[in-house]
Structure 1
Amino acid sequence: MNVVGKAAFGARSSARRILGHVLRERAAPSRRLLGTDAVVATAAAAPVVAAAAASLKSARPAVGETKTPPARRELLPIKMPMTTNGVKAFFVDTPAGVSDVVGRLSAVTRDDCLYVDLEGVDLSRYGTVSLLIIYCPTARQIFVLDVFMLQAAAFDTQGPDDSGLSIRGILESKEYCKAFFDVRNDSDALFHHYGVGLRNVEDLQLMENATRPDGQRNIINGLAKSMGWRGILSKAERAQWDRCKTAGKAMFNPATGGSFDVFNARPLDPAILSYCVGDVYYLPRLRKRHWGSLSQAWRLKVQKATQARVLESQQKDFDPHSIDKIRSPWEDPLDWVPLNEYKAPVGSHAYRAPTQKRHKL
């Protein structure tokens, strides 16, 4: 054995002795019984263990060395006032985090539904995508993906297994059901910025419109008004939901001195996070309330109208800010109202009801 080999052998032997001593100390019965002593002993031994491990690493030959990949960082939940019943929300801003999300969503079955929403600056082909929010009720988890920072990595990062699945694959898959509230601008932005073609989509806005009585389907409702249906939210839930929505809108609504740029500010303001979570948290109740009350014929109508919305949003002549977007696909001539009596601010679903209805002659 040459001089270098002897030195390496000596270093390895010394390191092993130190590690063995530390392990015996940590395994002692007195340490197991006294929690405080065990913590102190472990903390005191940490530098020794680190030095021993470093010694072992430096003593190994570099040729043919096999490195173990670093452990995947666990997603940490963020505190959200909207979430209850064990639902956790996560802010995801790294490719490793996206991979973790894909792994968690891959367990969703055909009987489950994912609830999806996007936020951005002028969310459309003309603006930007800032955030992608996905709620998985079966897993009781909400994921807020930072598309502004991740860009294409938010959609194309694959999961931890070898299936090749990604967020893009989930959004474009026939196997995964995705529910949106008014899918049009979301689809427009996804398709024209990232080439994502949505499939197997449900539109809760159309469901709500379809459940109205005859003669009352002319104008579609925004999310806030749709949440006003009896039995969807309790008074306390509605009050909390309104507080989160009001605080978020105050930050991005230009009419109140805000700016849509807050969706791209980092770190993201907690009020904006709460606003995003609130947009998806109660959507399962909305779906349950309306889908269950539709006849089979109306369900087919909703499905066809939803597919038409997705296809329309991908066309060159689609106008994401058209006033005609507030028209229902099942416009009833007996409930016709001139569009100039309605206000539809860009980026808002808060439509003002007319003071008087007018009918076609």
Structure 2
Amino acid sequence: MPEAAPAPIQPHEHTFCDTKASVDAALSIIRQYTTLAFDCEGRDLGETGGRLSLISLRTISDDVSSCFSAGHTFLFDTIALKRKYLLGVYAILESSAIKKVVFDGRKDFSSLYHDRGVELRNVIDLQIADIKSRALRGEQNKGRMKRLEVAVDVRQLKRNPHLFVGMHKLNGLKNCAKEHIAFKAASGPRFDHSMWVTRPLPAEYLHHATEDVVLIHQLYIQFLFCGWLFDGYLPSESMRYVSIWKDRRPLENEPFRNHGLLPFGIIDAAQTLGQELQRCAYCERALTKSCFPKNSQSRKCNVCRAVEFPPFWVRRKREAKA
């Protein structure tokens, strides 16, 4: 581990791969690495009716002393490229010998698994590492509850705090980067994700795809520097998290599957082994009884209960999409 904090990675150069020759050239470089930052882009990615547009891979040096230097980003056009030309990319994603560093890989996994028949393996999800780092950074229960205020009904939070025990607010990639590496997102119009299926892709979309995987790389080296990636449970927790929709793709805006709270049974699974399980009728997951209201026959876990009664701004956003 280096003695000084890593410097930010500035370059946003990328190689766009939309031909067999460009894919082969990219793979000849990527195969030299055993750690890659990984992300996908698409329209309604991972959801029913969605479509994968780009697979982004960024090289990260396997040498700990030099992994803080900039890598290179490769963007694979999954719309232009035939499946046979992407088999080498899929093999890397399925490889247990190559570590893929992601940030909230649920939609990536869902899209690849359900649409392409590709099962992502050997993943470290920095969204999970971020949540686990909070206690290591000295955040107490008061701080955890404060984060929840923007995601749940504050009245419920204050009246029934016992229903929110063990519940965590997820950080988005940009907010996480702001919190950990002082990233400042550029202001601009709302990003139109339906444009991911257009060709040629506008330059700002290629920049967005590159920036996302660069931020994942930056967060990875920051977390590595801070020692937050040496948790022995993190790999299994990450795989449990990204494959949470393996049973089926969520519907568009399905509230009990796609929300801003960490689902139960991800980071606390090791402590609940051997306990009796019951299935939540809303998120459709088998959870321990501690995830449900006590002294109640409710078939709704506490996370789904919190999602059902969100703050006003979330309700207004849902109504606008309806």
Please state if 1:194 is matched with 2:116.
yes
Please state if 1:221 is matched with 2:171.
yes
Please point out which of 305, 321, 326 is paired with 2:237. Answer: 305
Please state if 1:124 is matched with 2:46.
yes
Please point out which of 80, 94, 99 is paired with 2:19. Answer: 94
Bigger shift: residues 318-327 or 182-191:
318-327
Please point out which of 311, 323, 327 is paired with 2:255. Answer: 323
The answer to whether the Cα contact below 8 Å between 1:210 and 1:302 also exists between their aligned partners in 2 is no
In structure 1, C-alpha distance between the alignment counterparts of 2:252 and 2:106, rounded to whole Å: 8
Query: How has the CA–CA distance of structure 1 residues 89 and 120 changed in structure 2, closer, same or farther, with 3 Å as cutoff?
Result: same
In structure 1, C-alpha distance between the alignment counterparts of 2:100 and 2:252, rounded to whole Å: 21
Q: Percent identity of the aligned residues?
A: 22
- Residue 168 of structure 2 aligns with an amino acid whose one-letter code is N
In structure 2, C-alpha distance between the alignment counterparts of 1:207 and 1:274, rounded to whole Å: 26
TM-score by length of 1: 0.57
Instruction: Give the number of aligned pairs.
Output: 232
Q: What corresponds to 1:143 in structure 2? A: 74
- Residue 145 of structure 1 aligns with an amino acid whose one-letter code is F
Query: How has the CA–CA distance of structure 1 residues 100 and 198 changed in structure 2, closer, same or farther, with 3 Å as cutoff?
Result: same
Bigger shift: residues 309-318 or 186-195:
309-318
The answer to whether the Cα contact below 8 Å between 2:53 and 2:77 also exists between their aligned partners in 1 is yes
Q: Which has the higher contact order (CA 8 A, sep 6+)?
A: 2
Please point out which of 26, 30, 38 is paired with 1:105. Answer: 30
In the TM superposition, what are the counterparts of 1:1-361 in structure 2 within 5 Å?
Answer: 84=10, 88-109=13-34, 113-126=35-48, 127-138=50-61, 140-156=71-87, 166-213=88-135, 214-215=140-141, 216=144, 218-230=168-180, 232-233=181-182, 238-239=183-184, 242-243=185-186, 246-247=187-188, 250-252=190-192, 260-291=193-224, 292-294=226-228, 299-316=231-248, 321-324=253-256, 325-328=259-262, 329-330=266-267, 338-339=306-307, 340-342=309-311, 343=314
The answer to whether the Cα contact below 8 Å between 1:116 and 1:132 also exists between their aligned partners in 2 is yes
- Residue 302 of structure 1 aligns with an amino acid whose one-letter code is L
Taking only aligned residues, the RMSD between alpha carbons, in angstroms, comes to 3.0
In structure 1, C-alpha distance between the alignment counterparts of 2:215 and 2:45, rounded to whole Å: 22
Q: Which runs of 5+ in 1 are unaligned?
A: 1-81, 157-165, 253-259, 347-361
Q: CA deviation at 1:151?
A: 4.4
The answer to whether the Cα contact below 8 Å between 2:110 and 2:243 also exists between their aligned partners in 1 is no
Query: How has the CA–CA distance of structure 1 residues 154 and 295 changed in structure 2, closer, same or farther, with 3 Å as cutoff?
Result: closer
TM-score by length of 2: 0.63
Greater gyration radius: 1
Q: Which runs of 5+ in 2 are unaligned?
A: 1-7, 62-69, 145-166, 269-289, 292-301
